[in-house]
Amino acid sequence: MKTDGLSSYAENELIRYSNGICSRMKGTSEEVEDFREEMLIHLRTSVMELLHEGMPEEVAVRLALERFGEPSDVEQELARLNKLKRVFSNNMLVASITLLITGTLLTAFVPLWNEILHYRSVKSVFAEVDTHMGNKDHPITAEMEAAVAKQVNRKWDIQAANLAVIDNGEAVSRIDYVYPDSYRDETVKNNGFSYKERWFVYHPSSGTAVKIPGTDKSVSIELSSTLLSDTAFMAGLSLLFGYWLLFAIWGSLNAYHSRNGHPFWVAAFLLFNVFGYLLYRVLTSNRLQRRLRTA
């Protein structure tokens, strides 16, 4: 009996050799069987080439097996390759999940900070002005100045504060108190805090006025605040896109190694991401495939 031009003796030797190696392999039954078939194809091809060179069959079989390597050496190399594949796959999955978590937090935090959390710091400055309000002749007290300075120092989202006395809707002076003092020239030049923009943050001006009890006067509070820019929001979206793409690649590689790398599944991972991968796992499960074959 011959297989692909080989005698039963040669075929049995190749099968015995491949079975010996595959019996010590770690992996799913599908992975082991796929490797065994690929190894047999490679060994048969090698033997046929040697036969065409005029070698006797026994010599060709022995030489082909020697070229492939000792079983222990092949086993070690397979273990190394399988470990590298698992590590690479796991690292890719961890990286995609990291991008997902970071991107989700960033895109959610930008509107949360700009619309809600930031105003807690602003209101705390307003509260200090109201708490330490002086009399009608000296409304801005030393205690108020110290309290405002403390708030600016403690909160990263408040860059500077400017206090001015307002009488009947008109400023008595442009500036009665500025903290830090390095902002004084800027507020005089711009009649208030100027708008500043950086890569991920911008500094708009915001404020209110607190009534001085028993008078028509009030203390105007202007703050140079820190808000997160659209660039920060787009950075979060970019991280989410990176997750989407990386997860699709990870799913496609897993499908390929399981001999299910059909373009349909690659498209499903790209379009539906984790839901596409869950669908892939359900439809390609061994139990479902056995049910379909027996139906």
> Is residue 39 a part of any domain in this protein?
yes
Return the amino acid letter for 11: E
**Comparison of pLDDT for 35 and 9, the residue scoring more:** 9
Instruction: Examine residue 32 and state whether it is found in any structural domain, yes or no.
Output: yes
Residue 200 belongs to a domain? yes
Return d(Cα 80, Cα 180) in angstroms, integer. 61
CA 253-256-257 angle, 5° bins: 90
Helix (H, G, I), strand (E, B) or coil at 229: coil
- Whether residue 54 is contained in a domain is answered as yes
Domain boundary among 174, 196, 229: 229
Task: Say yes or no: 139 and 221 in one domain.
Answer: yes
Same domain, 199 and 259: no
Q: Where is the domain boundary, 200, 229, 258?
A: 229
- Return the pLDDT at 70: 65
Burial of 119-131, coded b for 16+ CB within 10 Å and e otherwise, reads: eebbeebbebbee
DSSP 8-state secondary structure symbol assigned to residue 259: T
Give the mean pLDDT of 21-36. Answer: 73
Q: Report the pLDDT averaged over residues 219-244.
A: 95
pLDDT digits (tens, 9 = 90+) for 246-281: 999 999 988 877 777 788 999 999 999 999 999 998
Give the range among 32-36, 166-170, 243-247, 265-269 with minimum mean pLDDT.
32-36
Give me the number of domains the chain comprises.
Answer: 3
Query: Does one domain contain both 242 and 158?
Result: no
Say if CB 48 and CB 3 are below 8 A apart.
no
- The tokens describing 217, both together, are 């006067």
Amino acid at 84: L
Residue 237: partners with Cβ closer than 8 Å, 6 or more residues away:
103, 107
Query: What is the distance between the alpha carbons of residues 62 and 65, in angstroms, rounded to a whole number?
Result: 5
CA angle 8, 9, 14 (to 5 degrees): 95
pLDDT confidence bin for 211, thresholds 50/70/90: very high
Pair 207, 129 in one domain: yes
How confident is the model over 208-233, as a mean pLDDT?
Answer: 93
Answer yes or no: is 102 within a domain. Answer: no
pLDDT more than 70, % of the chain: 89
What's 197's domain CATH number? Answer: 3.30.450
Q: How far apart are CA 232 and CA 1, in angstroms?
A: 71
- pLDDT by residue (tens digit) across 87-107? 888 999 999 999 999 999 999
Do 271 and 202 share a structural domain?
Answer: no
Are 158 and 222 part of one and the same domain? yes
For residue 99, tell me if it sits in a domain. Answer: no
Please give the residue that has the higher pLDDT: either 229 or 84: 229
Q: What is the pTM of this model?
A: 0.69
Query: What's residue 79's pLDDT?
Result: 66
Percent of all residues in the chain with a pLDDT value above 90, rounded to a whole number: 47
As a whole number of angstroms, the distance between CA 77 and CA 29 comes to 19
Whether pLDDT at 220 is above 80: yes
What value does the mean pLDDT of the chain take? 86
Give the separation between CA 119 and CA 113, rounded to whole angstroms: 8
Q: Do 36 and 131 have their domain in common?
A: no
The alpha-helical segments, DSSP class H, found in 113-204 are 118-131, 142-154, 184-190
Strand partners, 222: 162, 207
What is the structure's pLDDT at 64? 87
User: Are residue 120 and residue 216 in the same domain, yes or no?
Assistant: yes
Residue 56 lies in a domain: yes
Q: What is the DSSP code (8-state) at residue 45?
A: H
Please determine, for residue 2, whether its predicted confidence score (pLDDT) is greater than 50. no
Name the residue with tokens 């690649």: 249
Centre a 10 Å sphere on the Cβ of residue 43 and count the other Cβ atoms it contains. Answer: 23
Confidence of residue 1 (pLDDT cuts 50, 70, 90): very low
Residues written for the chain: 295
Q: Specify the amino acid at residue 138.
A: H
Q: Could you tell me the residue range of the domain that residue 9 belongs to?
A: 2-69
At which of 175, 202, 229 does a domain end? 229
Residues 232, 235: Cα–Cα separation, whole Å: 5
Which token pair is 36? 């065994």
**Position 110 pLDDT exceeds 70:** yes
Residues 121 and 155 in one domain: yes
Check residue 292 and give its pLDDT.
Answer: 46
pLDDT reported for residue 34: 72
